[in-house]
Amino acid sequence: MGFSKMSKRASSAPQKSTITQTKAPAPVPAVLTMGISPAAAVATWRLAESKLFECYTYWPVQEVVFQSEVFGKNQAFTANHFNLNDASPLPSGQPLAAVILVVPSIKDVARMCKKLKPVLSNSTLVLVDICGGLAPLQRLVRTNLGSSF
């Protein structure tokens, strides 16, 4: 009837079962922008739009609107606000992959680094926006964050 008779030897052999494990999707790297400048706002917006990064901000504003010949006019960007005051972990539970740090003045370096330090890991990349012309800023940030950064 379409079935073939199996020999006794073949039927007594243990059956192999194939278990296919699917890999969980790799977590999306998280980026935090602390402070705001035109360059940092555009960088954060474009990183978020790429969907390759989960972007968070510690900004004084919730929404930024861009006027761009390349990306379109009136492009509104509403950021995921991250509260550094309670130093809670990111919603994804993973460490920050990168921080874009915008320091408005040299007087603010120590305060901002102190607030930022609890959420950093040894593998976090810290990018310092020096568009404001504060050349010694990188050295001051490194001094305030410690030797591991």
Rounded to an integer, what distance in angstroms lies between the CA atom of residue 149 and that of residue 145? Answer: 6
pTM of the model: 0.72
Has residue 53 got a pLDDT over 60?
Answer: yes
Residue 4: per-residue pLDDT: 42
With cut-offs at 50, 70 and 90, classify the pLDDT of residue 11: low
With cut-offs at 50, 70 and 90, classify the pLDDT of residue 139: confident
Q: What is the enclosing helix (H) or strand (E) of 54? A: strand 54-58
Least reliable range by pLDDT among 86-90, 111-115, 124-128: 86-90
- The alpha carbons of the chain give a radius of gyration, in whole angstroms, of 25
The predicted-structure confidence for 98-125, as pLDDT tens digits, reads as follows 999 988 888 888 888 898 888 888 889 9
